[in-house]
Structures are given as structure tokens and as C-alpha cells.
Amino acid sequence: MSKLVLVPTPIGNLGDITLRAIEVLKQAEMVYCEDTRVTGKLLMHLGISKPLKPLHQNNEHLILEKTLSDISQRSLSVYCSDAGTPAISDPGFMLVRACIEKEIDVECLPGAAAFLPALVLSGLPCERFVFEGFLPQKKGRMTRLQELKEEPRTIIFYESPHRITKMLLQLVEVFGGDRKASLSRELSKKFEETFRGTLTVIAEVSAARELKGEMVVIVSGKER
């Protein structure tokens, strides 16, 4: 019986790879990945040699049928995105949905995701939260923020370093500068940082420094 296993990969520190993930990668007949260079470096670090095929947002829809056919002819295939868990603000969703429709067994290993440590480190309520990921870059961006303005649960955003200050200023504009928030960057890496305070304070920190790395912004929900 054919199986596809989604393998989360470290978001920074390679030591975060799980023993189970290593074992699955060793057993895989084919490893599909977002970027063969990134996954290739990880496999080299682990001392594993496997054939790699690229499957990313630009080609996922074009090669999906061929990929499904190939997976159905193997007992174990693996999919890895560059960092974190596939399909969480990363490619993988189309592949999973298609495998389910074709009745190919799908398994997802537990593992890295940037928003979980950022949420815990924020000091904001964790029992209920909304994961928004990346906001629309242009059309619909402010509309979406207006929809989230009344959200009572803690809200999680991803953002790139070159847009982070603009995004924080937009949050101040829509949510108000006094809303509690945190900004985490470079999670699990040497220069990991988390800034906590109001949206205004965090926006000022971002504007004053040239922050690098993937950003995770946590914003408190609206108080009732």
C-alpha cells in the first residue's frame, strides 16, 4: 500500500529534527520538497542520501497528477517544505488533498512550526488563538485587518523582514496602538529575539532596527 508522509523540518536549529523524522527519511523511496537545495543540505547533515524532486507553489498544480501516479507506485514517499510543517503557510495542501481523494494513505509527523514557540513566548493567552499566517500583500489586506479587529482570541501573523514595519503600523492603525503584542524572530537560532509590549512600542522597535529572519507577530484579542 502506498503512503505519503509529511515530515516537518527544523525552522532554524537542525538539532530540532525528531528521531522519528530521521527514521522516515531513511526509509523513504522518494523525497519531494519545496527546494531541493534546502532539503539536500538537511539530508547531508543527517548523513542520508535520497532522490529529491521539487514540489512547490509554482509547479504543484502542473505536476500534481504525475506526482500522484509516482507516489501510488511506491510504498513510501515523503514531502518536506523548507522549514516547519508542510501546508502551514507552505506548499503541501494541494498534494495532501489530492492524495486523500485518490485514497492514498497520508500521515503527518508532529514537529516544528514557528507560530507555536512564538505564541508561548508572547505571554498572551494561548488556550484559544487564530492563525492568520501571511496577510494578503495588496488587495484585501486592510479589509482582512478590519475583520480581525473585533476578534477576541489571540491572533498570529507571519511577515517578511522587509514588510514588518509597514505591517505593524497597519496593525496600530486598525487595532489601536495600545493593543498588547509580541514579535519573535530567528526562533531556535543563535540570534533569537522576542519583543513584547504594545503594538506602538513594537512598531517603534522594528522601525529603529533592521530586523532579519522570519517574523511571527502575536496580537492580543479584543477585550470584551
pLDDT per position as a tens digit, 32-73: 999 999 999 999 999 999 999 999 989 988 999 999 999 999
Domain boundaries, the chain: 3-108, 115-219
pLDDT tens readout for residues 133-171 = 999 988 899 999 999 999 999 999 999 999 999 999 999
Tell me the torsion sign for CA atoms 151, 135, 115, 194.
negative
Give every CB contact of residue 171 below 8 A, 6+ residues apart in sequence: 145, 179, 181, 199, 203, 217, 219
pLDDT value of position 137: 87
DSSP 9: B
Give the span between the Cα atoms of 30 and 140, in whole angstroms.
39
Name the amino acid, one letter, at 194.
T
Q: Are 88 and 111 in contact (CB under 8 A)?
A: no
Give every CB contact of residue 82 below 8 A, 6+ residues apart in sequence: 9, 33, 34, 35, 38, 39, 90
pLDDT tens readout for residues 104-137 = 999 999 999 999 999 999 999 999 999 999 999 8
Q: Are 186 and 213 in contact (CB under 8 A)?
A: yes
Query: So what CATH class is 3-108?
Result: alpha beta
Beta-bridged to residue 129, according to DSSP, are 154
pLDDT value of position 215: 96
Q: Are 219 and 155 in contact (CB under 8 A)?
A: yes
CATH superfamily placement of domain 115-219: Tetrapyrrole methylase, C-terminal domain (3.30.950.10)
Give the span between the Cα atoms of 84 and 74, in whole angstroms.
25
pLDDT value of position 60: 87
